[in-house]
Amino acid sequence: MSEQRTEWLPPAVPAPPPLPTSAPTDGTRQASEALGRPERKPFFKRVGSALLLIGALIVKFAAKAKALLILLPKAKILATSATMLVSVAAYALFWGWTFAVGFVVLLLVHEMGHVIALRREGIKASAPMFIPFLGAVVAAKSLGRNALAEARVGLAGPVLGSLGALAAALIGVATGHEFWYALAFTGFFLNLFNLLPVVPLDGGRAMAAMAPWMWFAGFAGLIAVAFIWPNPIMILILVIGGLETWRRWKLRKSGDPAQETYYKVSPVNRALVAAVYIGLIAVLAIGMDLTHIARTIS
């Protein structure tokens, strides 16, 4: 009987081995070994093994997530560095590599003034991101709790930027190289231009605490500059400035109590902002005059 049954099995499937005739001491284990199957662990051991496996996977995932969190600030630094390099390459097409590097460094110093001021106000600020031919920007959820804080943040850029331009001028005095004078002149002009009293420029931020109606005077001045030196960048600034000025003026006149509180600045603080603003304009104008290099055409 057993030989006939074996002949009907497919050739690739071996017949199961015969069961042992002797009685096993452990029935389950002996049967498993005889049938060629691994021993089945008890339920609590199987659950424990599964939990250990899940725990190991969680630890591995947490380690990778921690590594990503550690690398996140470095990614921001890399993004800033990458946009700086792109800007240097763009400016180098017109001014050469040396001057382009110096100009981008002056932009960085200016923007770091805003970053430092924002953090002093308790506001998280991003690292500066550079946009060729438009300067650089810093992202933040707000510019402060009120117009006075906004003015401090706005003026911090030209203050630190003026010190950066002054450093270039002092290097020029020490070395006598015209390169440093040209770089300092450009830095003084850059910060002076940003003091135009129109949002979103730094001067417009200062006007929020001094006299918001000056936004319209600044916008008119911006139109005049665009007519004198017409170029796509000026047109873009003009459009952005016009939209932002109108938006903020409408909000200020909406009668919202929060808006009234935001623009409420004491006369003493208003005078301090005005002193810093006017003082910066005077210093920057003098700096441009002292570092200007007259060119003669022969």
* Mean pLDDT comparison of 32-36, 52-56, 221-225, highest-scoring range: 221-225
User: pLDDT exceeding 90 applies to what percent of the chain?
Assistant: 40
pLDDT-derived band at 258, boundaries 50, 70, 90: confident
Assess whether pLDDT exceeds 60 at residue 290: yes
Assess whether pLDDT exceeds 60 at residue 57: no
pLDDT-derived band at 31, boundaries 50, 70, 90: very low
What average pLDDT does the segment 227-235 reach? 83
| pLDDT for 81 | 78
What average pLDDT does the segment 258-268 reach? 90
Does the pTM surpass 0.75? The reply is no
What average pLDDT does the segment 200-216 reach? 91
What average pLDDT does the segment 195-212 reach? 92
| pLDDT for 68 | 41
Average pLDDT of the chain is 79
Task: Give 225 or 188, the one with higher predicted confidence.
Answer: 188
| pLDDT for 151 | 95
The 10s digit of each residue's pLDDT in 15-29 is 344 444 444 445 545
| pLDDT for 76 | 59
| pLDDT for 189 | 95
| pLDDT for 9 | 34
The 10s digit of each residue's pLDDT in 113-139 is 999 999 999 988 888 888 888 888 888
Domain spans of the chain, in order of start: 75-291
| pLDDT for 55 | 54
The pair of structure tokens assigned to 238 is 């003009």
| pLDDT for 11 | 38
| pLDDT for 46 | 53
